[in-house]
Every structure is written in structure tokens, then in C-alpha cells.
Structure 1
Amino acid sequence: MVGAAVVDSLEQPTRLLVARRTSPPQFAGMWEFPGGKVETGETCEAALHRELNEELGIHVRLGAEIPGPADQGWPLNGKAAMRVWFVEVTAGEPEALQDHDELRWVPLDAGTEVEDLPWIPADKPILVALRSALGEVPSSFGKVPSAFGEGPSA
């Protein structure tokens, strides 16, 4: 699985684009990092470009990967993990085309707006790591996983 932390600027990010799920039922109405599955023979980076075009109608420039606590990235469940990259929109206007009913740009400042959204549980630690990487201290999500600084650099 691959996911994107879509920011307004890779150089000086101030906002994050978040997506509200429509399915499956247990995640409907919850917010997440957009992305999806890697198809056979596809690189993770190519899958992320494809998924963002299919789901949001955008083309992006990939930035740094947000390293997860495992080699495979961020654990989603007992069987799957997700690798997540910072990305910036280079073409297209984000629209909720597939799997989502709403997109929202939220500020990445020290406020809690982004934290107060009902996140898919597996994405919460990624948000903590993202805000830590940007120098923000999340107020309510807990500590950044200790492995965050030990992952491969992008």
C-alpha cells in the first residue's frame, strides 16, 4: 500500500490535504492520507502517482518518504503496511473522484484542527510523524514512534 501526505508546498508546507472515506463501512466518514494498492509489477512510486490521479485527479511531485517503524512502512493491520511520501500537486485541482466524499485542506500549524478530525486509526501515527518531521508537536496523538528518525532517508 502507498499513501500521500499532500502538502501545499514541499519546500514550506503550511497545509495538508486530507480525504474522507466512503467505504468500507467501518471507515466511512473517517479521514485518511489518500493512496491505495500497488499493482503487480508496479513500483511504489508509480502506484502512488496512479492512485492520486485516479482518486483525486491530480499529478504530483514526490518529496521525502515519511519512514515508518518497519521496513515495509506503516503497519495497517497484521498483513499490510503502507509507505507514505510527502507530495505536492503539480497539475489538476484535487477532487473526490473515488473512495472519498470530501477533501479538505487543513493547516499544519500548532493548532489542533488536523488532530481533531476522526482519523482512520492506522493513519494517526503517520500524522504524528509528519508533524514531527515538520517541527510541529502534536498535542493529542501521543509520542512519535522511536523508529521515525532511524528510517532510510529519501
Structure 2
Amino acid sequence: MLVRTVSIDAPVRTVAAAARHTRTVLAGFAALRPDPVPPAGELLVPGDGLVLRSGGELEPTRGSFVVRGADEHGLLLAPPGADRCPPAEFEVALTGGAAGTSMTVTARPGEGVGRAELAAMEEVLDGYPAAVREITEEWCGRPVVVAAAIVDGGLLLAQQRRSPARHAGGWELPGGRVEAGETEAQAMVRECREELAVDVRVLGGFGTDVPVSADGGMLLRGYLAGLRDRSAVPRPVEHRAVRWVGADRLPELEWLATDRLLLDSMRSALGGAAR
């Protein structure tokens, strides 16, 4: 077993986003020559795959990874099955604190791994944390957009966009930009009041940050929330429609690309939220 632990001066959810950032993973794992398996997007999600190359040729029997976990706690790249073993299983564990984030990367070599593969894994344990730190430092300067996962009775509230035309009909979480002088929690409460005509209470964070390319680059940051008055009825003040959705129906909605990257965290939020 090979282990590296580094400290990164950034919030844990920003580091967690960088840890699952597809281009950053490809750069950090360059010694193993990975290729993403379509349809991998900007951030890796559970079920995504990576295939390792050797001499320019794909060798999926020997070198395939499947993303088994990708959230605010870290990343797990593991074999797709007992009969298809990659050179190693890689696990990233993240712990946030006042001084930033502790990131531990563990490689567990598979059977029959040779010296060359072990050397490549050592390169990954040096290169990947450095790549995560680099993109994290870049993202930390971005303005934050908050998103509210409002849960009640085992359901999550989604809203359907009316505009602009390229987003019309798509579904998203309520939220918006953090204005000058606001905390992120205050921004979330204000946005929910403006968009849904309801007051919410913040229950905590959920999911990793999500990089947004619009307007020069922003970070979407999710918060778990509940209605202050559970008898209140959210209405689409600025949107086409709102809908309460259960965990099993979440994939049926046409989510905007950014929000789609939080689907697994939405499911987890429904599973862990108080009923």
C-alpha cells in the first residue's frame, strides 16, 4: 500500500471538486496514461470509467477503473469487477478543518504489479495532489453561486427554468449569486424568498463545489435547507414551474448540466435529511 498526505489551504468542498475534476485527474494520473470513458463530463461521477493505455493502445482488461465514489469526502477509483483488475485501487480521503483540508491519497496495488507499475503509482501519488492543489488555488478566487437542496418529507424541491432560451425547460436547484456584504447562508435565504416566496433555514452543506464557466468562472456551492413553515407552498415566482421530487425520480428530470453533477449528492441529502 502506498500513501501520501498533503495539506491544501482551501475549503474541503472546493478541494473535493478539484479531486473529481476530470482534466485534473487525467493530469495527475498521467504516469498511468488514463483516458476517460464517454460520457465523462467536467467532474467525475459514480459510474464513470477510466481506461489505461500502454504503448498507445487501450488495454481495458488490465487497466480499467470505475468511479465508485465522488463526493465531499473524497474519490474512489476501483476495479470494475473481480475479473478485471487495474494495477491498483486509488482512494482519496478528505478532512476539512480550520487550517484547510487534509488530503490522503492511497494506492492499493493489485496482484502481479511490477516495478514499472509501482514507479508509475509513485508518480501519481506525487503528481495528482499537486494537480489538485493547482486547480484549487485557481478556483478559490472565483465568486460563489449558492444552490439550495430544499428537502421535506423525503422529497427535494426542483424548479424549471423559463429563460434564457438555451436553458428554458431545464431543471435546477433554487439559488443565485452571493452579493457583496452577504454570507452564503444569507444569499441562499434571500434567493429562495425571491424565487419561491418561502423562507428557508440552512441545515448544512451538501456535495462538492461545482465549477461554472459562465461570466469568467464561478463556483456553485450547495446547501441543504428546509422550509421554516412546512405548511408554506413554494411557487415559481421567476421560473416556469416547481416540483417536489423523490430520490427515485431525480434522474427523470432534464437537469441543467451543472446541477446534474450534484445528482448523487441530492440522493444522499434525501437519505440523510430529517423527515
TM-score range normalised by the length of the shorter chain? 0.7 to 0.9
Alignment match, 2:43: none
Which segments of structure 1 move beyond 4 Å, counting only runs of 4 or more? 133-136
1:89 is aligned to 2:227: yes
1:99-114 alignment, distance < 5 Å: 100-108=239-247, 111=248, 113-114=249-250
Is contact 2:148-2:224 (8 Å) kept? yes
Identify the residue that residue 148 of structure 2 maps to in structure 1: 4
Partner of 2:262: 126
Q: For 1:3-152, what aligned pairs fall within 5 Å after superposition?
A: 3-9=147-153, 14-68=154-208, 73-77=209-213, 79-91=217-229, 92-98=232-238, 100-108=239-247, 111=248, 113-134=249-270
Offset at residue 133 of structure 1 (A):
4.9
Instruction: Deviation per CA, 1:27-58: give whole Å up to 9, x if none.
Output: 11000001011111111110000000010011
Q: CA RMSD in A?
A: 1.7
> Relative to structure 1, is the Cα distance of residues 134 and 104 closer, same or farther in structure 2, using a 3 angstrom cutoff?
closer
Distance in 1 (alpha carbons) for counterparts of 2:258 and 2:181:
26
Alpha-carbon distance in structure 2 between the residues aligned to 1:63 and 1:20: 23
**How far is 1:90 from its partner?**
1.1
Q: Secondary structure at the match of 2:265?
A: helix
Give the Cα–Cα distance (whole angstroms) in 1 for the partners of residues 225 and 234 of structure 2.
13
Segments of 5+ residues of structure 2 without an aligned counterpart are: 1-144
In structure 1, runs of 5+ residues without a counterpart are: 137-154
The percentage of counterpart residues that share the same residue type is 38
Q: Which amino acid aligns with 2:240?
A: D
> Which has more strand, going by share of residues?
2
Normalised to the residue count of structure 1, the TM-score between the two structures is: 0.74
> Which letter maps to 1:26?
R
Counterpart CA distance in 2 for 1:106 and 1:67 is: 18
Give secondary structure in 1 for the equivalent of 2:148. Answer: strand
Cα separation, 1, equivalents of 2:173 and 2:224: 10
Larger Rg: 2
Higher-helix-fraction structure: 2
Q: Deviations over 1:103-140 (max 9, x none)?
A: 001112xx3x210110000101112222145559xxxx
Task: Report the equivalent of 1:151.
Answer: none
Question: Structure 2-normalised TM-score?
Answer: 0.43
- SS of the equivalent of 1:27 reads coil
